[in-house]
Amino acid sequence: MNELEIREQLTTWVQSDPGNTIPKTQKPIFDAPEVGVARADDGLFKEFQQSALIGPTHRLPSDWIENARSVISYFLPISDWINEANRTGDRPSESKVFARFYGELFSERLRRRLVSYLLDAGYQAVAPTLTPDFSVKDMNSNWSERHVGYAAGLGTFGLHAGLITRRGTSGRIGSVVTDLELPPSPRPEGGYQAYCLHARGFRCGQCLPRCPAKALHYSGKDREACSDYLKKVQGPWCQRTYGFAYSPCGKCYVAIPCESVCPPDPIRS
Ligand code: SF4
Ligand code: SF4
């Protein structure tokens, strides 16, 4: 089994599984995935543990599978019709709310399918965030899908703290650790913010005023302000309006240059 087969298999599942739809509309939630691979012994995983943002509780791939060799990470870009509906107003659009709920169910299913696929082929495989050992404490998880995606070359971080991939920021990320040896994907040149226009020295910051909670600043994201707003404002509103206890927002991921692409350099006048 090689990386191309895994990429093709994931793409086939995303494009053919009826779970990748919002039942009320029968329209797709996600486009074809971006797929990347990190070596399980990549030094970056140890660096994550030393970072003030992630911390020592973040696990190494070998904490999930003793003989881990690779981490497969995927990014599922949200379909344009859902992004478009969420570009206006302070509240999440109806399709965004349903995409968050059904989309995460589908992404979990995708990880389970990938784990079964690898197990059936004779390899060990675990989707960390689906195990009982996965935990989130004080807003820090012991397996950050965004950081794993960065390690696997899927993209880099933006001023909004999301991962900007070649297919933009608006999407969901998942990963599977395995003892199958796969070649690692190259990370983008230019460091951990290489795809963000602001970090590249261009005028941007368009994600900042998108946040209704004013949680985004040039100095970084106020994670507590974001989390409070989701819990106290967006969540209860979604519950009242759509009957979902979910608190999707994602306003900072749409109507910006990095919504659906890695933004090219603007033409300087
Ligand atoms: S909107 Fe601009 S500043 Fe914000 S993350 Fe995207 S590229 Fe960076
Ligand atoms: S998810 Fe919503 S509240 Fe949180 S930073 Fe983005 S726009 Fe602001």
115 phi/psi in degrees, rounded to 5: -60, -45
Q: Which of 206, 218, 259, 262 to mutate to test the pocket of ligand 1 (most atoms within 8 A of CB)?
A: 206
Which atom, in ligand 2's list, is nearest to the CA of 227? 4
| pLDDT(21) > 90 | yes
The alpha carbon of 263 and the centre of ligand 2 are apart by a number of angstroms equal to 20
Amino acid 268: pLDDT: 64
Give me the residue spans of the domains in the chain.
Answer: 3-253
Full-model pTM: 0.95
Count Cα atoms within 13 angstroms, Cβ side, for 217: 9
Mean pLDDT, residues 23-32 taken together: 94
Between CA 177 and CA 169 the distance in angstroms is 23
Amino acid 52: pLDDT: 77
| pLDDT(190) > 70 | yes
**57-80, pLDDT tens digit by residue?**
999 999 999 999 999 999 999 999
- Locate 20 and state its tokens: 């990748």
Between CA 192 and CA 190 the distance in angstroms is 7
Pocket residues: Cβ below 6 A from ligand 1: 158-160, 196-198, 204-207, 256-258, 263
Angle at 179 between CA 67 and CA 183, to 5 degrees: 120
Amino acid 96: pLDDT: 94
| pLDDT(269) > 70 | no
